[in-house]
Amino acid sequence: MIEGQVVTLLLLVCVHLAQTHTHNYTGHAIVRAWPRQTEHLTLLRDLPQQHKVQFWREPHDIDDPVDLMVSPEHLTSLITNLNDTNLEYTINMPDIQKVIDVERRSIYSQKNHHRLNVSTYNTYEQIITWMADFSQRCGPMCETIKIGTSVEGRDLTVIRLGTPHENKPIIWIDAGMHAREWIAPATAIYLIDKLGNPSHPPDMYVRYLLHQFTWYILPLANPDGYDYTWTTDRLWRKNRSQHSTNDCAGVDLNRNWAFHWGDPGTSNNPCDENYRGTSAFSEPESRAISTFLDGLSDRLVIYLSLHSYGQYWLTPWGFTYHLPDDYNDLIAVGRRVVYAINSQSGAYYRLGASSRLLYLAPGGADDYVKGVLGVKYSFTVELKDTGQYGFMLPPRYIQGSGEDMFTAIRTLAHHVVAETRHNP
């Protein structure tokens, strides 16, 4: 195919995607506000009712920035309100759709439309096909495992990595529970490639990690929602189940787990982004993941759930402001992790309990793994960035995010090995 035909084909693909991507965010803006006093926090929490804004980063503490998505119809009244109440603010993104369009052009400028590219974002079909091919090329070190199906029938596929050996401790990583957080699945794929790609000569750290642990990585915990972000609504968060008679679909999979499910901090309104579902494990995705984890629990030593954004290393609990009994141990190893990341790349991750650093989030996966399965080192990671791009992080940041998390898991793994040797 000559060069002109290639360009024409790429343009046609982009036009097709633009046509199928029906939810348009033209004129929608991201406003960042800084609460400087307690009254500001109260005013910000009331904004969704007054101006129909949607929080990307919720009000939590004085001097912590708050990110709000607002429609063009409500932008003027929101800005007037912020000015009248002396709230500092900036408009980080004046037009979200333009950012989405730039993201798509960036992806398709570097994509082979039939094969996965580790350096960019990829569709559900490309990810699943790549995992199967990767496992075959990897040989006995790797295995793909279908652990269940989604609401719409898509496979939930885990890849197992590690030198063949029974009864090794297990490290689990999942990503993509929230559909719009594309950097999370991309980072998980980067880690799979780093650990198991036979075309890369493994360095001593990779050999060590594969020898000491069995790894299970689930890049797409919410495949329906992820696919929907590619075809219809780039900023969709939930899965795609239908539990109401109105047009509001989806359940927040990270509020659907059977540990303090339904506690304050979630919603029983199907239209809300943190809708918890009709019951704990009402969703096939969370149910399948938990069932598989239950079967690993006797050897599971580290659980990581990758999300975005904000750069946080979060410990349980999410359901309460109280801290787990071993919180000091979690913070001690967390300090090693965030220091190692900072030393490697300069990125700074804030460390602490999710309820205290962000907000209450009962029914979460990390709380379930710690509270029900008894896994000590259970963490949620909010990946890059700190707010410049939010959920639309450009593909050029994938490698850096992947290297940050490789540094993190290497540090965690060394800690667990040393702890085991000290306390056999």
pLDDT tens digits along 102-122? 999 988 876 665 678 899 999
- What band does 231 get if pLDDT is binned at 50, 70 and 90? very high
The residue range of the domain holding 350 is 116-422
Q: Are both 70 and 215 inside the same structural domain?
A: no
Q: What's the structural domain count of the chain?
A: 2
Same domain, 77 and 209: no
Residue type, 59: P
Task: Return mean pLDDT, the chain.
Answer: 91
Residues 183, 57 within the same domain:
no
At residue 286, does pLDDT exceed 50? yes
pLDDT surpassing 90 at residue 2: no
324, 400: one domain: yes
Q: Looking at the structure, do residues 182 and 233 belong to the same domain, yes or no?
A: yes
What is the pLDDT, as a whole number, of residue 113? 58
9 part of a folded domain: no
**Mean pLDDT lowest among 104-118, 128-142, 238-252, 336-350:** 104-118
pLDDT at 381 over 90: yes
pLDDT at 382: 98
Q: Residue 79 above 90 pLDDT?
A: yes
**Sign of dihedral through CA atoms 44, 48, 53, 59?**
positive
Same domain? For 395 and 273 the reply is yes
| pLDDT-based confidence at residue 204 (cuts at 50, 70, 90) | confident
> What mean pLDDT is predicted for residues 151-163?
96
Which residue has better confidence, 390 or 16?
390
Q: Is residue 180 part of a domain?
A: yes
Query: Which ranges constitute the DSSP H helices of 182-317?
Result: 183-196, 204-212, 223-231, 284-296
Q: What are phi and psi of 87, to 5 degrees?
A: -90, 125
- For residue 106, being part of any structural domain is answered with no
In a domain, 57, yes or no: yes
CA distance 405 to 344: 11
Q: What is the pLDDT of residue 17?
A: 46
Please report, for the domain that includes residue 415, its CATH number.
Answer: 3.40.630.10
Q: How many CB atoms lie within 10 A of CB 258?
A: 15
Please indicate, yes or no, if residue 366 is contained in any of the structural domains.
Answer: yes
3-class DSSP state of 57: strand
Which of the residues 58, 382, 403, 419 is marked catalytic?
382
Distance (Å, whole) CA 274 – CA 238: 8
Q: What does the alpha-carbon distance between residue 290 and residue 293 come to, in Å, rounded to a whole number?
A: 5
Which of 94, 125, 144 is the endpoint of a domain?
Answer: 94
pLDDT digits (tens, 9 = 90+) for 328-344: 999 999 999 999 999 99
Q: Do 78 and 129 belong to one domain?
A: no
pLDDT for 200 equals 74
Report pLDDT digits (tens) over 24-52.
999 999 999 999 999 999 999 999 888 88
**Residue 100 in domain:** no
My answer on whether 238 and 268 are in the same domain is yes
Q: Is position 269 within any domain? A: yes
Query: What is the pLDDT, as a whole number, of residue 114?
Result: 61
- Phi, psi (5° rounding) for residue 36? -105, -5
Q: Are 175 and 219 in contact (CB under 8 A)?
A: yes
SS3 of residue 269 by DSSP: coil
Q: Could you report the per-residue pLDDT of 296-315, keeping only the tens digit for each?
A: 999 999 999 999 999 999 99
H/E run at residue 353: strand 350-353
Here the CATH number for the domain that contains residue 52 is 3.30.70.340
pLDDT in tens, 9-26: 344 344 444 445 579 999
The yes-or-no verdict on residue 423 having pLDDT over 80 is: no
Same domain, yes or no, for 222 and 272?
Answer: yes
Residues 174 and 74 in one domain: no
Q: Is 382 a catalytic residue?
A: yes
More confident residue, 6 or 403: 403
Question: Has residue 13 been placed in a domain?
Answer: no
CA-closest candidate to residue 192, choices 142, 129, 147, 137: 142
Regarding whether 176 and 68 lie in a shared domain, the answer is no
